[in-house]
Amino acid sequence: MNPPPFSPTPLVRRKLRQERLAQAVLAGMVLAMVLPLVALITYLVVQGAPLLSWSFLTTNPTHGMREGGIWPALLGTIYLVVIALLVAAPVGVLCAIYLNEYAGDNWLTRLIHLAVVNLAGVPSIVHALFGLGAFVLFAGLGRSILAASLTLAIMTLPVIIASTREALAAVPQAFREACWNLGASRWQTIRHVVLPNAISGILTGVILQVSRTAGETAPIMFTGAVFYKKIAAGDPFAYALNDQCMALSMHLYTVTTQVTNAPAALPYAIAVVLLGAVLAVNATAILLRTRLRARQKW
Amino acid sequence: MVSPPPKIAVENLRVSYGRREVLHGLSLTVAAHEILGIIGPAQSGKTTLLRCLNRTLEFIPHAAWSGTVRVDGEDVARVRDVHALRRKVGMVAPLPVGLPLTIYDNVAFAPRCAGVRDRAELDARVERCLRQAALWDEVKDRLHTLGTRLSGGQQQRLTIARALSHDPEILCLDEFSIAIDPVTTMRIEEVLQGLRSRLTIVLVTNLVQQARRLADRTLFLWNGEIVELDRTEVIFGENPRDRRTYEYTRGFFG
C-alpha cells in the first residue's frame, strides 16, 4: 500500500523540528528583551507613585530638596534639549545632505565619514570636557544653559548626520537620475524630489537622537547644570540663556547620592518623569513618521 | 550641394570606469532628423555612449572620458550650462521611473526647473507632451493623481512625455521597451515615427527588429567598438560588411 500523500519523510521532520526550534529561540530572545523593560517601568512607577502629582511637576523643591516638586529640573531639561535640537538639527541635516548628495567619493569625504563615525563613539564625559574648554572657557559663555546645550548639540551631531544620511540613501537613485536627465540641477533635485521623500526619516531620526540627550548627565554637569536653583514655579520662561539650570538627570543623581534622608520614592518619581518625557517625545516622532509615511508617494 | 552639419558628432570617444575601458575610441555622426538605431549585446557600451551625449556620465564615480562629443557643433565638455544641454538632449531610461509626483507635475517638472512659471503655458505644454506620448486620453481626467500609480507601460509613456516636456532637439531612448508589453511598444514606436520630423532620435535597443523597423541607419556596437554603421537595409541585409553583424542580426550570437 502507498503511504498517504504529503506524509513527511524523516528529512522533512527534521526540517520542521529545526523550524520550531528556531522560532522558539528567537521568540525567547524577544521576551528576554521585553520582560526586563516592562519590569523596569512597572517597578519605577510603583515605587514613585506616592509622589507623582501635578504639583510635583510644577513646584520648586523645598527642605533641602527632600520635599516639594521638580519644576526647575523639568524646565531645565526641556530648555537644554530644545536648544540642542535647534542647533544640532539644521547643522546635522545640512551636513548630511552635502555629504550624501554633493560630495564625491574621494579620500577627503571618506576621512570625514570616518571622523563622523568615530565622533559618535566618543564617551559623553569627553564631550563634557570639550564643552567646558570650548564653550564655557574659550567662548566665554560661562557655565550656562547655552554652553550646556551647545555641548549636547555637538554630542548628537554625528548620530544626526548618520541617521539623516540613511534616510537620504533610502530614496532610490533612479529618481535622482531621472531629474538630472531632465536638466534639473542638484539642488532642484534635492529640493523637489529627494527631500520630500526623505523628510519623514530625517525628522524621526533627528527627534529620536535628540531625545536621548535628555538623559545625559556628564556633558551638562561641567557646563551648566547645578544642584539647586530656585525659579518662579510654573513659569515656562523662568530661565534665561545665560542662567545655570537644574536638569532631571542631574537632579536624580543629586537626590540619590548627595541628599541624606530624602524620601525613598523621590528618585523613582524623578526617573518616571524623565522616562515619561523621553517616551512622549519618541511617541511624537513615531506619530509624525506615520503621518508623513502616509503621504509617501511610491 | 553642401551637406548639412551633423546634429551629433562623436570623435574618438574613449570612456573608462576606473581602469576598465568600456568605449575604445568611437567616431560617428548623426544627421538632423535621423533615427539612429544602436544595437549590440549587453555590456557593449550602448548606455555609456548615451550618457556622454548629455554628460550624465559625470554622475558616475570614477568615470573618465576623452575625445570629443559635439552637439550642434558645440563640444559638450565645454558647455557652461550643462542643464541647458540636458534639456536639448532628452533621455528615456530603460525602466520607467515615474517621479513620486502627480502626473501633471511629472511632466511640468522640467519646464519648471527651466524657469517656466506661467500656469497657462504649463497646462498647454503638459497636454501637448502627453498627447505626443499617446497618454493624454488615458490620464486627462486624473492629471493630479500620482504618476507612480500608473501601469508600467503608461509610466514609460509618461517618461517619454517628460523627456519631451523640455523641447529637446535630440531624443535618446535607452531600451525603452524592456519593461513593457508588445502592444504598448508598438504604440510608442508609432509615436516615435510621428516625432521624427521634429526630432533627431537615438534609439538604443535590444530588439534588433525594432531597429530594423524604425532606424534610418543602424550602429552595431560590440565590446566598446563600432563593428559596423550603415543604412539599416544594409545592416539587416544579406551582405553587411562584417560577418559578425550578419550573425548578430540573425540571432546566431549575442
Do residue A47 and residue A59 come from a single domain? Answer: no
Q: Verify that A140 and A152 share a domain, yes or no.
A: yes
The answer to the question of residue A218 being in a domain is yes
**Chain A partners of B90 at a C-beta cutoff of 8 Å?**
181
Question: Does any CB of chain B come closer than 8 Å to the CB of residue A138?
Answer: no
Interchain pair B97, A177: CB under 8 A: yes
Quickly list H helices, A136-264.
145-169, 173-181, 186-189, 195-213, 218-221, 248-257
The Cα diameter of chain A in Å comes to 93
Distance CA B111, CA B109 (A): 6
Q: Which residue has the cell 545640512?
A: A94
Identify the pLDDT of residue B2.
Answer: 56
Q: Which residues pair with A288 in a beta bridge?
A: none
CB B130 within 8 A of CB B136: yes
- Does residue A69 fall inside a structural domain? yes
Q: What percent of chain B has pLDDT over 90?
A: 20
- Share the mean pLDDT of chain B: 87
pLDDT tens-digit profile of B161-217?
A: 999 998 899 999 988 888 778 888 888 888 888 888 888 999 998 888 888 888 999
pLDDT on residue A90: 94
What does the pLDDT read at residue A97? 94
- Mutation target for A interface from B59, B71, B99: give the one with most A CBs within 10 A: B99
Asked if the Cβ–Cβ distance from A183 to B166 is below 8 Å, we say: yes
Q: Is residue B3 part of a domain?
A: no
Q: Is residue B82 part of a domain?
A: yes
Looking at residue A284, what is its pLDDT?
87
Identify the closest residue of chain A to B85 by CA–CA distance: A183
CA distance B233 to chain A (A): 32
Burial of residue A276, with CB atoms counted within 10 A of its CB: 0-12 exposed, 13-18 middle, 19 or more buried: middle
Is there a contact between A184 and B54 if contact means CB atoms under 8 Å apart?
no
Average pLDDT over every residue of B216-234: 89
Please tell me whether residues A201 and A85 are part of one structural domain: yes
Report the CATH number that the domain containing residue B175 is assigned in CATH: 3.40.50.300
What ipTM was assigned to the predicted interfaces of this complex?
0.85
Residues of B in contact with A190 (CB under 8 A): none
Nearest CA in chain A to B86: A183
In a domain, B199, yes or no: yes
Neighbours of A72 (CB within 10 A): 25
Does residue A3 belong to any structural domain of this protein?
A: no
Within-domain flag for B176: yes
Grid look-up 502616509 returns: A294
Judged by CB atoms closer than 8 Å, whether chains meet at B83 and A104 is answered as no
Domain extent at residue A43: 10-51
Write down the pLDDT at residue A188: 92
> CA of A178: which chain B residue's CA is closest?
B97
Section B36-40 average pLDDT = 90
Answer yes or no: is A91 within a domain: yes
Distance separating alpha carbons of residues B175 and B153, to the nearest angstrom: 13
* B31-52: average pLDDT: 89
pTM of the full structure: 0.82
* Out of A174, A179, A181, closest to residue B54 by CB: A181
> What are the tens digits of pLDDT across the range B55-111?
888 888 888 899 999 998 888 888 888 888 999 998 988 888 888 888 999 999 999
Angle of helix B103-113 relative to helix B119-132, nearest 10 degrees, comes to: 120
Of A34, A51, A68, the position where a domain reaches its end is A51
Do A20 and A127 reside in the same domain of the chain? no
Q: What pLDDT is attached to residue A98?
A: 93
Domain match, A33 and A68 both? no
Nearest CA-CA distance, residue A107 and chain B, Å: 13
Q: Domain range spanning residue B143?
A: 8-249
Q: Is residue A214 part of a domain?
A: yes
As for how many domains chain A has, the answer is 2
Of residues A105, A176, A297, nearest to B61 (C-beta): A105
Task: Indicate if A184 and A279 belong to the same structural domain.
Answer: yes
Indicate yes or no: CB of A184 within 8 angstroms of CB of B146.
no
A161: domain CATH number is 1.10.3720.10
For A277, other C-beta atoms within 10 Å of its C-beta total: 18
pLDDT at position A297 is: 57
- pLDDT < 50 positions in chain A: none
CA distance A75 to A234: 9
pLDDT at A88: 92
- What is the least distance, in Å, from the CA of B136 to any CA of chain A? 20
Beta carbons of B50 and B69 less than 8 angstroms apart: no
Cα separation, A96 vs A112, in Å, equals: 11
Which chain A residues contact residue B165 at CB under 8 A?
182
Q: Provide the pLDDT for residue B1.
A: 47
Domain count of chain B?
1
In this structure, chain B runs to a length of 254
From the list B59, B87, B100, the residue facing A298 with the nearest CB is B100
Q: Does the beta-carbon distance from A179 to B109 stay under 8 Å? A: yes
Cβ <8 Å between B99 and A178: yes
Phi, psi of B157 (to 5 degrees): -70, -30
Residues A163 and A22 in one domain: no
Q: Kindly state whether residue A110 falls inside one of the protein's structural domains.
A: yes
Query: What is the Cα gyration radius of chain B?
Result: 18
Work out the number of other CB atoms within 10 angstroms of the CB of residue A17. 10
Q: Which of B177, B217, B239 minimizes the C-alpha distance to B38? A: B217
Q: Are residues A34 and A156 in the same domain?
A: no
The C-alpha angle A131, A133, A134, rounded to 5 degrees, equals 65
**Residue B1 counted as domain residue:** no
Residue in chain A closest to B95 (alpha carbons) equals A174
Residues A65 and A22 both lie in one domain: no
Query: Residue A4 has what pLDDT?
Result: 76
CB-count exposure of residue B48 (10 Å: 0-12, 13-18, 19+): buried
Same domain? A103 vs A243: yes
Q: Which helix (H) or strand (E) holds A119?
A: helix A107-120
| Backbone Cα Rg of chain A | 25
